């Protein structure tokens, strides 16, 4: 499963914090933040997970996060 989100990770430290949070909560998943993209795109790839859980976790830690659905 792959999910893509728009975030408010303005600084490299923000991106690293998001990656640490999600890597801790979803061990074995691939998590990345594109700091060069104006939307600070977060990409999460791994086994089945709930998109809402990711949004809630990030919001709880002070980050805005919007799911960007896409079709294959």
Q: Token match 């859980």: residue?
A: 53
Q: What are 10-46's pLDDT values in tens digits?
A: 999 999 999 999 999 999 999 999 988 889 999 999 9
pLDDT of 69 higher than 70: yes
**Which pLDDT score is estimated for 43?**
97
C-alpha distances in Å from residue 59, one per residue of 11, 33, 48, 53, 68: 17, 16, 21, 10, 16
Q: Where are the domains of the chain?
A: 2-67
42-45 and 65-67 strand pairing = unpaired
**Which pLDDT score is estimated for 70?**
81
**Which pLDDT score is estimated for 72?**
59
What is the CATH class of 2-67? alpha beta
pLDDT of 71 higher than 80: no
């Amino acid at each position: 499963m792959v999910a893509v989100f728009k975030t408010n990770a303005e600084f490299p430290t923000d991106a690293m914090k998001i990656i640490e949070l999600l890597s801790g909560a979803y061990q074995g998943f691939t998590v990345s933040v594109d700091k060069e993209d104006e939307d600070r795109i977060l990409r999460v790839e791994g086994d089945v997970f709930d998109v809402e859980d990711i949004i809630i976790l990030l919001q709880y830690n002070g980050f805005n996060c919007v799911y960007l659905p896409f079709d294959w």
